[in-house]
Amino acid sequence: MVGAGVLSLPYAMAHMGWGLGITVMILSWVITLYTLWQMVEMHEMVPGGKRLDRYHELGQEAFGEKLGLWIVVPQQLLVEVGTCIVYMVTGGKSIKKVHETFCPKCTPIKTSYWIMVFASINFVLAQLPNFNSISAISLGAAVMSLTYSFIAWGASIKKGITPDVSYNVKMKSTSEVCSISSLHWEMWHLHMQDTMWC
């Protein structure tokens, strides 16, 4: 899965350097793969054929009916609401930039209006019954993600090493490693768990 997180890799690598950057990416991958494997194993761990298809069901099985919900649901809401806000703002700003690029002489429109346009498009798409209904959009998004990744890669190779640029590591402390690296796959798995097991 290639997404917007790819665009932050150059920034992260500039701050951590090649050695630490690659080490953190591999460590993130190992931790994510291990926790994902645990979740798949716990999917059918309850005797009697009960399947734990949702995080809150897993939390209830581990911590009890009420406590499981109080532990899991707030975290899910935080991730879901935070993700929606970030993508709405990012999408709105992107549409605004496209508008300004293709129509530089047009009257500028406030970013908040573009965010509402992006939210409206998402609202319409959210009314579709399942992911199969938007398979063409998913294919288009995958093609665009790969395209901008290859464009960035190709532009970097074509430009080459710039003479008056410092390629030293920009990280000032080891605490920046934690703020730069994130386990994006965990969030992806949270969103896609229903389609994996249905």
pLDDT in tens, the chain (198 residues): 455 566 677 777 778 887 888 888 888 889 888 888 877 777 767 777 777 777 888 888 888 889 989 998 999 899 888 888 988 998 899 899 989 999 989 999 999 999 999 999 889 888 888 767 777 877 887 888 788 778 877 887 888 777 777 767 676 655 544 444 444 444 445 444 444 443
What is the predicted pLDDT for the residue at 59?
84
What is the predicted pLDDT for the residue at 96?
93
Note whether 44 and 53 are within 8 A (CB): no
Please give the structure tokens belonging to residue 59.
């939390």
Rounded Cα distance between 96 and 98, Å, is 5
Rounded Cα distance between 15 and 178, Å, is 12
Q: Which helix (H) or strand (E) holds 90?
A: helix 65-102
Note whether 12 and 180 are within 8 A (CB): yes
pTM for this prediction: 0.58
Q: Tell me the C-alpha to C-alpha distance, in Å, between residue 29 and each of 6, 36, 63, 127.
A: 14, 10, 27, 34
Rounded Cα distance between 179 and 186, Å, is 16
Note whether 43 and 49 are within 8 A (CB): no
Q: With 0-12 CB in 10 A as exposed, 13-18 as middle and 19+ as buried, what is 21? A: buried
